[in-house]
Structure 1
């Protein structure tokens, strides 16, 4: 007998990382909501099986609001979502079934729709939703800050909590960046966004459990810290607590829940001293699969960069799905299978064109990433024009002499990897490849990738023959997407368009890693199974 299907709703759905991971553990998507039509195009294609390009009458993808008619799909897919909110066209009314749909548009429009349409809320509640998940921007959220009506982002976590309160799923899952745990000041008072978000869910009838995870502990080849809040509807929490009556984690959560309700009229009395989140780095023993998700990988077996992308490191070649040599890739493709894709060429693996200056600079980063004993800083100082002592210069020359740098030969009119002759030659090369960006670096071949994967120019490949940025497909591997998952819309963007466009690189970087989502889904399922005979 297979697993019982659990029903979930995905808010802030992005390109579909969370939904893909949950789907692999037997969760059925009831409906999803995403602000960006660009990310929504990827979600619709991969999760719902619906192509939006040139589709003038999509059945599964509906716009909450748009300035364009349904048949004007090309304009809708490139529309500024913040301007769309003022549009006069909508694909949804009180008779629309949301089942199996992706709703494109602002979550506050969805919230208002639900408030005005109680029959729609009743229809959703009758589905007995098991989980609502999502990752709203939360870094400066405070319940007090909701007075700032002009701060759109400040309302998003509250809107998420209100929708959960209306629908009353058994559990809620919220994912966010590590920055949510850093304090911020508002009106002279110090707030912690993670704590404020936790309060918001208590006020809607949920008991939160908070944690700081890192994707590398769950088989994702990326050093990616993420804040996770799992909140249980109070009656569900009580049943789980009965199964684990000695759990200090659950005791702390219950105490926080009661404290918030007791101070409902003066929430500022509930401070960071009254609650806590559990950090996987500090307390790995708590991540045993009962309340907190179970660790699957430890430092000795973290998946590294080479294992993640080494089998597709030559993008000029065409790689066939499920026919690469990578064990990690094969694991992803078997964990998230799509058999109809067998024999197809892997997509989103086009490399970007770079000038000699950029390629030579990337090679410099590749080399100094291997330096030890403080010489990496010395090399960086040399590169940025800072004063470097004669002693360090001698050591640097000795170190550089073992590595080939990328030089350009006017004689042959081509670039070549050559060993430098002396420190002056190195300095001359460095002066010819200046940059204002100091966040750039090369991947380390035998370590997980760093967390910054949203801006493609910040990272370059580790291979000396690949002096380039990563392809979208390589970044997707680091996020644990299978090779069949195809990213739609434009590849990258710039300038003012960055304010609202979500191109492929950003879609990947913002996504919840499907492997992590799968683990989180398994943990929720296990807890519900204990109390509900799932």
Structure 2
């Protein structure tokens, strides 16, 4: 929008003198055409800047009004109060809620039917029936959610989206046309406010966590949460001080959003009111990775602390237990569920997932109870512990092959030593064997390819030696052969064969 404003200012400056020379209808026609042209350009510019957003705890629409003025595009809004929803619907959708057939405003659930709109508008939100139990809902799997105001509890909305994946899919970042850029909202905050009754146990204090649950379901790129500055003040409890803002930041970190917590005052944005507010800006970790290097040094320094907060939270009490890295080996300690968490979902691994890390095939079945705790840890060996304590089967394969090859090499060594004790006439035979071995080794270097597909003749040094021995051994271990050790045995056979044949064996 700033780009548009600058362009319009420049045009006005350039055309001002011409405007002064025009008279009568010509002036009116010129101004009309100029305004129409500039509005069209401004519309094109704004569409290019549009970001899709969802507004929770929408109220009468203050935050949405500002976001739309900034070029954002409202996908859906949610508001508990039907009275506030009436104002929102009128201003954003030009819809009067006293009409019988509403296009944009839908009730998540109500004690009254669609035909009783006047009763819905005066319904006490605390009496809304739980979703799927009773009441009248305007939503079903075929409902199109775009440009809708959903009246009802965010708690029930989260339940509905979990129960009806067809609805959830419409508003998820990966499925929504253009993606879901932002979920924003200001959860009711009277119980946090220093001007009100500060009540830690107030049920409204759980709403920021419901906000986080909605974010976890929809996967927006960014999160914007606004609340009173009283959320920064600690609650005194029997267990010590409780910092609500810190717990909210943890809730978003746990679902993989980097939380930037700010204390701002609306007066610095041009508002004629001294209005300090807590703002949490959450950035999805993959988006954070994309943008961090594009920011200036000061911005990077600020966000670095937020990212460290997220990293620290994902560490467990042992300090070595972090989220797995997708393309790196897992840590060695994997014997209890919380030894490590999934690299993407940030949850504990299942028994089967830990078994896969250990290289167990999926058809290997683990029996007995899944986990244990307390004093029973001293004698019980549940499935998680069975997996963690086991020797990885692939390591067992490798060790088994090594033992086999070592035994064969010892036997070969014994045969060679015995052959050296043969009569002097055997010398010619061993020479012939050595020449045969040298010939075989050289031929492989000239004609064969390594397991990677690269011609061995194009390799040199240790790489060429290893590739040649692996070829003689029937290929690398990974490809089903006996590797370099097998090659050494085969080469030994080529050397010893002529010697043994000449010696009469």
Which structure is larger by alpha-carbon Rg, 1 or 2?
2
- TM-score, with structure 2 as normaliser: 0.49
- TM-score, with structure 1 as normaliser: 0.46
